[in-house]
Amino acid sequence: MAVNDGAFKGLSVLIPAHDEADWLPACLDALCASEPVAGPVEVIVVANGCSDNTAELARGETSAFEARGWSLRVLELAKGGKLGAWNAGEAAALGNVLVYLDADVLVSPPLLAQLAEALAGGAPRYASGVPQVTTSGNWVTRHYTRFWQTTGFMTHGVPGFGVFAMNRAGRARWCVWPDIISDDTFARLNFRPEERISVPATYAWPMIEGFAPLVRVRRRQDVGVAEVEQLFPHLMRNDDLHDQMRPFWRRALADPLGALVFVAVRLTIHAPVLRSANRWVRGR
């Protein structure tokens, strides 16, 4: 991992992008519409293993960022892989604050400034905003999402999926990113609950649409969390305690249809159907 030499005291936004031509322009437009951030800002798009025009589209946004005094760089890697993209982006990044952003996420205007402020100190810190999970109308996804948002993962702590950030002191806790599935879980659990900061600004994160894609992707996420637990058991002590959450039966009474769909997805995850040999399977 590259170490900031102190010349650049700002914020670096890292965006891994593998065939993200349909999503990346909107992501960059939302970034460019952000409120002012104290200090310089650089955006680094890491186009990894792309077979579409992701890199070209990203470069087309350069002038818009330059017009507001920010820089936009595009790195192209021949090999796909999110963890490799994180490593390459960090090697090029200069900021004291590192923001890790998925290419299908839309940040709200105040988010970057709030992350920069929350992570300005010298103590190791991690931060994220408030996720607003979006759906495009599929009824299974809509009901699943509504109930999923009542789980302890969503109601306690700082979930950090889709976008998370840390300062250099926090990032120094490990060397290169390991070859794992759940990068967001690994990053979050490298910080104790009191070191994780939730800022009030929101971001839009799209939920996978349809029953089969939901099963595949949620299974992959379960496998990713289990992988972190197996490889880095010491990190699990940093997980959030969910003993104050509402019991399942109360949530099910309040939303029986959502509970039914949620349980159906969860049961199918553990069944020998809809499995994929690709550990990086995506639902879109």
pLDDT digits (tens, 9 = 90+) for 226-280: 999 999 999 999 998 765 678 899 999 999 999 999 999 999 998 876 555 554 4
**CB 156: neighbour CB atoms within 10 A?**
15
Provide the token pair at 194: 């009191």
pLDDT above 80: residue 163: yes
Pairwise pLDDT comparison (55 vs 137), residue with the higher score:
55
Domains along the sequence of the chain with CATH: 11-269 (3.90.550.10)
Tell me whether residue 89 is exposed, middle or buried, using C-beta atoms within 10 angstroms of its C-beta: 0 to 12, 13 to 18, 19 or more: buried
Tens-digit pLDDT profile for residues 61-105:
999 999 999 999 999 999 989 999 999 999 999 999 999 999 999
Residue 97: helix, strand or coil by DSSP?
strand
**CB 235: neighbour CB atoms within 10 A?**
17
pLDDT band for position 9 (cuts 50, 70, 90):
confident
Residue 11: helix, strand or coil by DSSP?
strand
How far, CA to CA in Å, does 232 sit from each of 43, 99, 164, 227, 228?
Answer: 30, 23, 20, 8, 5
Percent of the chain, pLDDT > 90?
86
- Per the prediction, the chain carries an average pLDDT of 92
Q: Measured in whole angstroms, how far is the alpha carbon of residue 7 from the centre of its chain?
A: 28
User: What pLDDT score does 284 carry?
Assistant: 46
pLDDT above 80: residue 177: yes
pLDDT band for position 2 (cuts 50, 70, 90):
low
User: What pLDDT score does 245 carry?
Assistant: 72
Tens-digit pLDDT profile for residues 116-152:
999 998 999 999 999 999 998 899 999 999 999 999 8
